């Protein structure tokens, strides 16, 4: 009976751990629709930075702690000629994880301005469609910061 109980416990633990990994199918808290010309004016969103789930526990080779669901999801259109800058401004060491419209993953820890991450995406395949963004922390610390999206129009 103990081996069966142990196997069931390990299976449930593995399922719980898998649910803690970033999953774009869960969708972000807010789903906005924007076009490239609208994002020429920066959009800022107040977000909580950091959660309990380590990216390395999910087989992702980068450091950081994020939630299972994206922090925010965006539906973007007419982005063909607009590069998109996604950045975080926060007092704690933050990370960005992005699942682009084509399904590719992008990560950044420290952007050009210290501990605040920045990811720049260009091209219709990456940007036309749903883009999911996770704002996490490098070391598991939590704080509040701003998620900023902006195109160079």
b/e code 97-123 from CB counts within 10 Å (16+ = b): bbbbbeeeebbbbebeeebbbbbebbb
Query: Residue 132's pLDDT is what?
Result: 95
Query: Residue 30's pLDDT is what?
Result: 63
Residues of the chain with pLDDT under 50: 1-19
Query: Residue 29's pLDDT is what?
Result: 65
- The C-alpha atoms of residue 63 and residue 107 are separated, in whole angstroms, by 10
| Number of domains making up the chain | 1
Domain span including residue 60: 21-151
Query: Residue 45's pLDDT is what?
Result: 95
Output the domain CATH number for residue 104.
Answer: 2.60.120.380
Q: Is residue 11 one of the residues assigned to a domain?
A: no
Q: Is residue 84 one of the residues assigned to a domain?
A: yes
């Amino acid at each position: 009976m103990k081996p069966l109980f142990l196997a069931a416990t390990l299976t449930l633990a593995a399922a719980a751990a898998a649910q803690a990994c970033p999953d774009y199918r869960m969708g972000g808290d807010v789903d906005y629709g924007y076009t490239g010309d609208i994002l020429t004016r920066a959009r800022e969103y107040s977000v909580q930075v950091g959660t309990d789930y380590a990216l390395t526990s999910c087989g992702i080779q980068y450091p950081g702690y994020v939630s299972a669901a994206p922090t925010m999801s965006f539906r973007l259109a007419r982005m063909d000629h607009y590069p998109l800058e996604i950045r975080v401004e926060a007092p704690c060491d933050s990370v960005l994880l992005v699942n682009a419209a084509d399904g590719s993953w992008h990560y950044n820890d420290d952007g050009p301005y210290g501990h605040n991450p920045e990811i720049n995406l260009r091209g219709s395949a990456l940007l036309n469609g749903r883009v999911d963004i996770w704002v996490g922390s490098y070391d598991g610390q939590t704080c509040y910061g701003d998620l900023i999206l902006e195109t160079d129009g």
